[in-house]
Amino acid sequence: MELELFRDLTVTPASEFSVPDVHVVGTQRHTGTLAIHRSSHIELLVKDSRGVQRADRDGGVVLSDSPLPWIPFQTFSFQGKFTLTLASALVPQSVRAELQSVLRVGETERSLETRFHVNVRGRALHELRFNIPRDWRLEEVAGPEALHWSQVPTADVSTITLFLSRGILGDVDIILRGPLPERIANAPVMIPHLKVEDVAEQPHILVVQADPGFDVQAEQLAGCRTILLDQVGDWLQSDQREASRLAIEMTRPEYQGELFVQERQPRIRWQTITNVQATDQNVQETILLDYHVDRAGVRELRFLLPEALRDATIRAPMLQRIIKEPASTSEVPGWFRMRLIFQDRILGELRVLVELDRLMSPNGHSLPIPRPEGVDPGIQFVAVESSGWTEVSVRDVVGLEPLTRQHRDWKTLESSLGDQIVQAFRVTGDPSQTQITIERQVRDTVTTTAARIAFAEAKLAMDPQGNYRGIQT
């Protein structure tokens, strides 16, 4: 015969209950064993015991199925009637949540990803609730196995309830990710508010990431403060730090703040090399414009060139369109403006190549030195090469410093042009006032005597004794 008794038990810090005394009426001898098991959520203490004795644990006792684990407490033996009073109390539970969030802000779109690192001590946790922004559209909720969740929106927030049928004890990560409503241009972005219910601590760090062309500034902070990105833990991967603009640490559960997204101003460093190679008939001009763009990409570059290079060939990666327009005659007479429009924003290294072949003028050839616009001052070089038997000389040098082969800038030029450079200069003055002219060096023809030297002939032989004999005619 098997008897089962189910009773409601309200566990309080001082709750006590008596174990039912089950006996068979009319028997002469009544003995038995009482095996007590407890839930992992409850602690037991024997308050009063009469008519029972401690006994070895019986492994043959079968308990009914339950989703909660049963833990053996004590085993007693009895003869006849007995009294056993137990005191019960809930196992203390400590829950700590650490929030690690990444807010991604683009030109119009926004998205949020948050990791809830939950630490549970003492009693297993089977339900967890937290509040998230009402307009956060969750696309993924990831966590331990057998995780179910529900979302209940209210006026200001949405309450997420996680149901953990197997319970969690120790450390576990729960990840939420999804998009936020599109950002309104020139309007501040509110810091998303996240709050975990019924936890002892919930430190929270929010990292704000933005597209390469944008900066983010935090204002009107309350209950939070900005920190250095270096203070963010290892959970932020190295490839994520490049796009990160700022980090915000929440100092109180209730916090707020505004984020202002501003378009970044690109920082452009540049260098130009005017390379001229003279032959017997013409001059081959090549201008290298090397740009290094960081902080933000650019879609347009501008520079001035002499009118003589209007028909030059322009080469550059991702080049979409070339616009040639006249420059201000009063400022730079004889020059025109070259505008390069690219297919997309250029970021990093960029080389623009300008090429043109012209006939050598008898009066000399003025070398073109480009003038980039809309950028900070850069470095400019002039390199002269000679081809074949042609020799060139320079004159009318203004605003340039000659370089020697031992100068480090000479090595820089050789790395781009090769080792055929015969003269090199660096621009030291105002580029608009700089000039340099080359001309072909003509030498007098020298007439020599009509003497001729015929071919010589030599014969060499070895005699039987091993001696060499020779004759030359």
- How many domains does the chain fold into? 3
My answer on whether 255 and 275 are in the same domain is no
Instruction: Please report whether residue 252 resides in a domain.
Output: yes
pLDDT at 14: 59
Query: How many Å apart are CA 421 and CA 405, to the nearest integer?
Result: 9
Question: How does residue 9 score in pLDDT terms, banded at 50, 70 and 90?
Answer: low
My answer on whether 117 and 238 are in the same domain is yes
Instruction: Please report whether residue 462 resides in a domain.
Output: no
Our CA dihedral for 216, 221, 225, 227, rounded to 10 degrees, sits at 10
pLDDT at 12: 62
Q: Pick the residue with more confidence: 281 or 249?
A: 249
pLDDT at 303: 94
My answer on whether 111 and 86 are in the same domain is no
pLDDT at 69: 65
R_g of the chain, CA atoms, integer Å: 44
Assess contact for 429 and 371: CB atoms under 8 A.
no
392 in helix, strand or coil? strand
pLDDT at 120: 92
Q: CA angle, corner 120, sides to 117 and 124, nearest 5? A: 130
My answer on whether 86 and 129 are in the same domain is no
370 in helix, strand or coil? coil
pLDDT at 258: 93
Query: How many Å apart are CA 128 and CA 124, to the nearest integer?
Result: 11
Instruction: Please report whether residue 428 resides in a domain.
Output: yes
pLDDT at 178: 94
pLDDT at 55: 86
Q: Across residues 185-204, what is the average pLDDT?
A: 90
My answer on whether 296 and 256 are in the same domain is no
Query: How many Å apart are CA 70 and CA 42, to the nearest integer?
Result: 10
pLDDT at 389: 60
My answer on whether 21 and 110 are in the same domain is no
Place of tokens 């000389």: 393
Assess contact for 413 and 383: CB atoms under 8 A.
yes
Please report which residue ranges of 41-161 form alpha helices under DSSP H. none
Residue 208 half-sphere exposure toward CB, CA atoms < 13 A:
24
Question: How does residue 156 score in pLDDT terms, banded at 50, 70 and 90?
Answer: confident
Q: Which of 90, 112, 144 is the endpoint of a domain? A: 90
My answer on whether 44 and 174 are in the same domain is no
In the predicted model, is pLDDT for residue 174 greater than 50? yes
My answer on whether 421 and 379 are in the same domain is yes
Token pair recorded at residue 42: 């409850």
Is the pTM for the entire model greater than 0.85?
Answer: no
My answer on whether 360 and 380 are in the same domain is yes
Query: How many Å apart are CA 432 and CA 430, to the nearest integer?
Result: 5
pLDDT at 300: 94
Q: What one-character DSSP code corresponds to residue 418?
A: -
Q: Across residues 223-228, what is the average pLDDT?
A: 94
Instruction: Please report whether residue 470 resides in a domain.
Output: no
Assess contact for 208 and 216: CB atoms under 8 A.
yes
Assess contact for 160 and 132: CB atoms under 8 A.
yes
pLDDT in tens, 315-365: 999 999 999 998 865 566 788 999 999 998 898 999 999 999 888 777 778
In the predicted model, is pLDDT for residue 63 greater than 80? no
Our CA dihedral for 43, 44, 47, 52, rounded to 10 degrees, sits at -170
- In which domain, by residue range, is 328 found? 268-440
In the predicted model, is pLDDT for residue 58 greater than 60? no
Instruction: Please report whether residue 457 resides in a domain.
Output: no
pLDDT at 60: 45
Place of tokens 């004794």: 465
Q: Which of 235, 263, 291 is the endpoint of a domain? A: 263
In the predicted model, is pLDDT for residue 27 greater than 90? no
My answer on whether 86 and 56 are in the same domain is yes
Question: How does residue 10 score in pLDDT terms, banded at 50, 70 and 90?
Answer: low
Nearest partner of 133 among 110, 158, 150, 155, judged by Cα: 158
Question: How does residue 68 score in pLDDT terms, banded at 50, 70 and 90?
Answer: low
Least confident of 78-92, 112-126, 285-299: 78-92
- Mean pLDDT taken over the chain: 85
Instruction: Please report whether residue 356 resides in a domain.
Output: yes
pLDDT in tens, 366-410: 888 999 998 988 999 999 887 666 677 888 888 899 999 889 999
Share of the chain residues as helix, strand and coil, in percent rounded to the nearest 5: 5, 60, 35
Instruction: Please report whether residue 127 resides in a domain.
Output: yes
Token pair recorded at residue 259: 């984020």
Query: What CATH code is carried by the domain that includes residue 423?
Result: 2.60.40
Q: What one-character DSSP code corresponds to residue 201?
A: B
Q: Across residues 209-228, what is the average pLDDT?
A: 91
My answer on whether 255 and 305 are in the same domain is no
pLDDT in tens, 250-271: 999 899 999 998 888 889 999 9
Instruction: Please report whether residue 114 resides in a domain.
Output: yes
